[in-house]
Each structure stands twice: as C-alpha cells, then as structure tokens.
Amino acid sequence: MTSLTYRYVALTDTGLRRPANQDSGYASPRLLVMADGMGGAAAGDIASAEALHIIRQLDRDLDVDAMSALQQAVTAANARLGELIRSDPAVEGMGTTVEAMLWDGSKLAYAHLGDSRTYRLRDGVLEQISTDHTFVQSLVDEGKISRDEARVHPHRSLLLRALLGRDDNEADYNWLQPMLGDRYLLCSDGLSDMVGDNIIEMALSAETIDLAATELIRLALEAGGYDNVTVVIAEFVEKGTDPDEHLSSADGQPQLVGAAAGPARPRTAAVTNPKTTESQAIDPEEIRYAPRPPSRRRWLRWTALGVVLAVILGVAGAVAYNWSQNQYFVASYQGKVTIFKGVQADIPGVTLQHVDEVTDVELSTLPDFRRKQVRDGIEASSRAEAEQIVDNLDQVAIKPTPTPTPTATETATATATVFRR
C-alpha cells in the first residue's frame, strides 16, 4: 500500500456584506480545522477562534490514538466556550460549527458539528462527506423536501446542533481512508450557500489546490458574498514527494486564517460597533443561528414561569386531594376496627385521612394475622367494600363466652344452705 501525505492550503474572505470575519481556519501537515462562528454581535468570532485554538493543540505528537485525541479536543473546546459564556453574559448566545481532520499517518480522524461542510473529490467526482445539522436537512432526510428545495428554503441555515458551550450537542465522528489523488475541502456555508456542488466540483479540480482555493473564494464573492467564506483544502500525494515550491504549503508551516489569526477583541457588554444604530436591521447571523441575547427583563419571564408552574402544581394538588377523599381503608383507632376516608400517607401540613366510622369490633379479638393486617391498614375501593371488610373481620373475631346470670331459685337455695350451716 502506498504511503501518503498531503499538501494543504487555508484561505478566507470576510465577504461583501459582513463587517468582520467570524470564520477561523487552520491547516498543517497533521491537522485541518474550519470553524464558522455564530451569533453575530454575540461574539461568533470569539467562539470560532477559541474553539480553533483549543483544537489546534492536537498539532503535535500524541499519546493516544487520533480519534480519542480529537474527541477530547472538541470536548475541551466546548468546555472553553461554556467558561467564557458563564464569565461574560455579553457573549451568551455565541457558538461555532466545527470541521476537523486529524492525520495519523494512514487515515483521518474526522469530526463534524453544524452546517459547515466537508467534501471529497475522488477521481474527478465530488461527494459531500458531512451531513448538515440543520432543520432543513432533517426535512430532506424525512423525504418532505428535495435537496434542490433545501438550497432555497428560507430556513436552510437554522442549526439543530453546534458547539455552544453545552453538553447536549455531540459532534459526529468518523474515520476516513484517503486515496492517492484525493482532495478534501472543509468550507463554511459562505461557500456552500453561494455556490452549487457542480461548480464546487469544477473549481476543486483546478491544477493546484492553491488555485482551487482562490477560485472557490472568487465564485462565492461573485455570487453575492453574503457571508464570510473560508476554505481549507488537502490534497493527498505519495509520501516522499518533493514539495512544490509554488504552493503555499511548501515551507511546511501551519496556516492560520480568519478570526483566530487576528487579535482577540475585548469581551464586554460595553463594546459596541460605532457604526451600528438601533434603526439598522439585526444581523441576519443572529437570526439564523444564535439564540437571542439575554433580555434585560429576563427576571419577568422567570417570574411568569414561576407563577404558571405554581398554578399548575396547585391545580394538580387539588385534583389529587379530591381523589384521595373518595378513597377508603380499614385500620385501627383506639383499639377498635375503624373505617377511614382518605389515603394512608403522611405529608407534613396536609391531612389526607379522617375517621369515618368506629365499629364495635375490638382489635384484641382478632387473630394475630388479621390484627396485623388492620394495624397496617387494608385498602378498600369504596365505602361498601370497607363495610364488607369489617363484616369479614367480625366473623373471625373471637367472641368472649358470657357469664350466666343466677336465677332467683338458685340464689334462695344457696342462701338456705348457708343458713343451715
């Protein structure tokens, strides 16, 4: 089997309608990463940059296999976003997609999360390796719309999964086995939303991957450039092949582009864009991807939610209490078999039972087994059944034999006998 390595390139552009680049890209002889930050003003650039800086730490000799290392890195990146969000409410709602490939010398460990994409060009044929984690893709999977309809659907970028600093959005992981001549493309939706797969296939087939990257960016801009567009490309060649001095990767140095390559901006609610006014439209990136920023009146929503929950619990409690008062059981009270109305339950501050009838059946007259049953309580489905239980207990009760009352004749005889003595 031919030993492989790959050439690489990373390229990005802010696009024609975005004030800043929230994408981050990275390419090196070991690692390929593309992250598309989400949330608009909620710091998508911070999210993509922080996630990439965590994941790029894989670009070294590792003590574990590539897949385990990649999973740990993505988890660590997610935890990092969680820390940032907890420490600074101004960035609540930020997140990022992740496309990452880690080369172990023979195959690629692959991670995918969000709607950024990974394509493979093999023998001139383009194939999408990733599956979009979007609402529209779920409609395609269910057969409700076609792929062509998905491309123009108004909610095509509504994400179902992304790296958000929470533990409920697991990435997809897989092993990929490259072949000689394969080209892999990791890209943000700034490319895939603007350019069709057939055009991507043609551009990715360019003479070199550097030309392919430039052409893909150009095509996205010509199509409107609505979003940041980032591409990371790898081309697999035979190991030992001399570097092509005309390629950007000839020096073997990592390539870092986008938000992760620039200085970190301050994370504070006081930072605003001086060119932005309230009359301007909300950044579509916020509408499409991120949860709304925390409202200043959030406490009102929590209060209203608390009131609603209290009402629901109150109604449920009333229904439960009314039900309990239509139940019966037989137990002991003051040494006698007694019919109770309610249920046997001890809840502090709530009385769920009361005496309905104290019968004449003495607890002491019952056999040991029956006496224990009564002390433990015998449930009845109705008042009539409770009465039947009492009748059954009365039948097995041991009745004391009454002492006969002496007659007048017997008394006189006994007196006479005593007199004669």
The predicted model scores a pTM of: 0.66
pLDDT of 105 above 80? yes
Q: For residue 230, how many C-alpha atoms fall within 13 Å in the half-sphere facing its CB? A: 33
Domains and CATH numbers, the chain: 4-265+282-288 (3.60.40.10), 325-396 (no CATH)
223 neighbors 191 (Cβ within 8 angstroms): no
CA distance 135 to 157: 8
pLDDT of 292 above 80? no
Q: Which of 39-53, 270-284, 392-406 has the lowest mean pLDDT?
A: 270-284
Q: Which of 76-80, 202-206, 266-270, 400-404 has the lowest mean pLDDT?
A: 266-270
pLDDT of residue 247: 97
Residues contacting residue 71 through CB under 8 Å, at least 6 positions apart: 111, 171, 173
Q: Which of 18-27, 115-124, 385-394, 400-409 has the lowest mean pLDDT?
A: 400-409
pLDDT of residue 402: 63
Q: Which residue has the higher pLDDT, 6 or 413?
A: 6
pLDDT of 386 above 70? yes
Query: How does pLDDT run across 52-76, given as a tens digit for each residue?
Result: 999 999 999 999 999 999 999 999 9
CA distance 216 to 189: 12
Query: How does pLDDT run across 73-93, given as a tens digit for each residue?
Result: 999 999 999 999 999 988 888
Specify the residue for token string 């820390």.
83
pLDDT of residue 127: 98
CA distance 35 to 103: 18
**What element of type H or E holds 236?**
strand 229-238
- Which candidate, 128, 125, 247, 219, places its Cα nearest to that of 181? 125
**What are the angstrom distances between the C-alpha of 299 and each of 17, 55, 94, 227, 248?**
36, 37, 21, 35, 53
CA distance 385 to 388: 5
160 neighbors 134 (Cβ within 8 angstroms): yes
pLDDT of residue 300: 62
Query: Which residue type sits at 120?
Result: R
pLDDT of 290 above 80? no
Q: Span 132-152, mean pLDDT?
A: 89
CA distance 187 to 200: 11
Band of the pLDDT at 417, cuts 50, 70, 90? very low
pLDDT of residue 265: 58
Specify the residue for token string 């991957």.
209
pLDDT of residue 303: 72
Band of the pLDDT at 420, cuts 50, 70, 90? very low
Query: How does pLDDT run across 220-246, given as a tens digit for each residue?
Result: 999 999 999 999 999 999 999 999 999
Q: For residue 84, how many C-alpha atoms fall within 13 Å in the half-sphere facing its CB? A: 29
pLDDT of 8 above 70? yes
Q: Span 189-212, mean pLDDT?
A: 97
pLDDT of 216 above 60? yes
**What element of type H or E holds 215?**
helix 209-222
Query: Which residue type sits at 186?
Result: L
Average per-residue pLDDT for the chain:
85
- Which candidate, 55, 145, 126, 139, places its Cα nearest to that of 97? 55
Q: Which residue has the higher pLDDT, 266 or 158?
A: 158
Q: DSSP state, 403?
A: P
